[in-house]
Amino acid sequence: MQTNDKNSTLSMLISIIVSFAIALTFFYGLDHLVMSMQGLPLNPDLSPAG
């Protein structure tokens, strides 16, 4: 019973971390993509390039 709880907590934690990783990567890419589409490139730290 206890191990089961532990497992589900762990898998919950993993899925949350994975989800945030996906979302962060996606929006980071979106910022770069949409800005550069407008001719406004960004540095990797998102500050304006050039």
Partner 1 sequence: MNDKHPSNQPERPSTQIRWRHRLWIALSMLLLVSGWVQAAEESTTLNSITPIGVVQVAGEPLIAKITPDIADGDTAEPIAAPRPSRSDYPNIGVSSRAIVWILAQLHLFFAALVLAVPLFVLMIELLGVYTGDERYDNMAYEFMKISLTGFSITAIFGGSLALALFVLYPDFMGYMMHVFGAQVLVYAIFFFLESFFLYTYYYGWNAFRYGNLKWVHLSLGLMLNASGLTIMVLANSWATFMMAPSGVNEVGAVVGNIWEIMKGPLWNPINLHRFIANIAFGGAVVGAYAAFKFLSTNDPVRRAHYDWMGYTSNFIAILAFLPLPFAGYWLMAEIYAYSQQMGITAMGGILAWLFIVQAVLIGTILLAGNFYLWAGMSRTDGSDRYKGLIKYIAVVLVVCFLIWVTPHTLILSASEISLLGGSHHHILGPLGIMPAKNVAVNLMLVATFLSFQLYRRSDKVATVSWAPMGNALMVAIYVVAIVNIIFLGVYYGYFTNTVYKVGSSVVQVASTLVVIIAGIILDTLMFRNAKTLPSHWGRIPDRAQYALFALPIAFTWLMGLMGYVRSSVKTHWHVYTVMKDNSPDNFIPTIAYAGNMITIVTVLFLLCVLFMFWVANLSSTRQAKPAAGGAV
Count of residues near partner 1 by CB under 8 A:
21
In the three-class reduction of DSSP (H, G, I as helix; E, B as strand; rest coil), residue 48 is classed as strand
Q: Which of residues 7-26 bind partner 1 (CB under 8 A)?
A: 11-12, 15-16, 18-20, 22-24, 26
30 binds partner 1 (CB under 8 A): yes
Asked if residues 5 and 12 have their Cβ atoms less than 8 Å apart, the reply is no
> Which residues contact partner 1 by CB under 8 A?
11-12, 15-16, 18-20, 22-24, 26-27, 30-31, 34-35, 38, 40, 46-48
